[in-house]
Amino acid sequence: MALLAPSILSADFSNLHQQIRLIEIGGADWIHCDVMDGHFVPNISFGSVIVKAAKASSVLPLDVHLMIENADDYIKGFVNAGAVFITVHQEAVIHLNRTITRIKELGAKAGVSINPSTPVAPLKDIVEEIDLLLIMSVNPGFGGQSFIKSSLRKIEEAAKLRSKMNSNFLIEVDGGISINNVKDILDAGADVIVAGSSIFKADNISAAVTELKNIISSY
């Protein structure tokens, strides 16, 4: 069954502990942490201090999505803060194999993310090394954007590449996902669904998580 990873980017940070409790009550599987540096993406969000606070608030695995340059300099800090998965952007890392190796040596699971305009195929030579492939279905930088439909084809391509290479990375999809389109994304082959605004901007956060989870579990 696919997993649900609410993104705290859209949470109320003045009340983060309580907001995390609400997604736990609703049945979230992971907590997705969107780290933005204002260089790789045109927005600044938060760093390892918030990841550490999320760790103190929950037993759920922390899924840290680094939308930053110079990721190598920060991996250790995020591992120490409690990250279970650390995902870097293919477009922002020069020596991807070295960075992935470093993440794994430090004891975390390694993910690679690609922007909507980045093709899946060139990742062929790295997929055997990774635990997770994150397909961005919006241009990273902001919550609340619309799902880019061509991402569905990329999810299918990633699933084909996985069987062709006989590897077993998880396929995660991030951006513009709600109860209205999650089935299409599962149909295409996603294993992990990230959702930010459709959960944290809902009137009832726990109920929004449960509603998405019910669709995922009935799938």
**Catalytically annotated residues:** 34, 174
Distance CA 150, CA 164 (A): 21
Residue 74 CB partners (closer than 8 Å, separation 6+): 47, 48, 66, 68
Q: What's the chain's Rg over C-alpha atoms? A: 16
Binding site partner of 189, from Zn ion, ligand DX5, none, Cβ cut-off 5-8 A by kind: none
From the list 69-77, 116-124, 150-158, 174-182, the region that binds ligand DX5 by CB under 6 A is 174-182
**Shortest distance, position 5 Cβ to ligand DX5, whole Å:** 9
Binding site partner of 185, from Zn ion, ligand DX5, none, Cβ cut-off 5-8 A by kind: none
Instruction: Report how far apart, in Å, the C-alpha atoms of 104 and of each of 7, 12, 201, 210 are.
Output: 23, 32, 34, 32
**Shortest distance, position 8 Cβ to ligand DX5, whole Å:** 9
User: 46-65 mask for ligand DX5 (x: CB under 6 A)?
Assistant: -------------------x
Reduced to 3 states, what is the DSSP secondary structure of residue 97? Answer: helix
Reduced to 3 states, what is the DSSP secondary structure of residue 104? Answer: helix
Question: Scanning residues 109 to 168, which ones bind ligand DX5 (CB under 6 A)?
Answer: 138, 140-145
Q: At what angle do helices 48-57 and 16-26 cross, to 10 degrees?
A: 50
**Type and span of the H or E element at 101:** helix 96-105
With CB under 6 A as the contact rule, the residue among 3, 4, 7, 127 that binds ligand DX5 is 7
Is residue 174 close enough to count as binding Zn ion by CB under 5 A? yes
**Shortest distance, position 178 Cβ to Zn ion, whole Å:** 15
Distance CA 94, CA 201 (A): 36
Instruction: Report how far apart, in Å, the C-alpha atoms of 76 and of each of 100, 105, 137, 183, 200 are.
Output: 12, 10, 28, 36, 29
Q: Are 197 and 164 in contact (CB under 8 A)?
A: no
Question: Scanning residues 74 to 133, which ones bind Zn ion (CB under 5 A)?
Answer: none
With CB under 5 A as the contact rule, the residue among 65, 89, 102, 154 that binds Zn ion is 65
Binding site partner of 135, from Zn ion, ligand DX5, none, Cβ cut-off 5-8 A by kind: none
Residue whose Cβ sits closest to ligand DX5: 196
Is residue 34 close enough to count as binding Zn ion by CB under 5 A? yes
Binding site partner of 29, from Zn ion, ligand DX5, none, Cβ cut-off 5-8 A by kind: none
Residue 132 CB partners (closer than 8 Å, separation 6+): 85, 87, 109, 110, 111, 112, 169, 170, 171, 172, 192
Binding stretches for ligand DX5 (CB under 6 A): 7, 9-10, 32, 34, 65, 138, 140-145, 174-177, 194-198
Binding stretches for Zn ion (CB under 5 A): 34, 65, 174
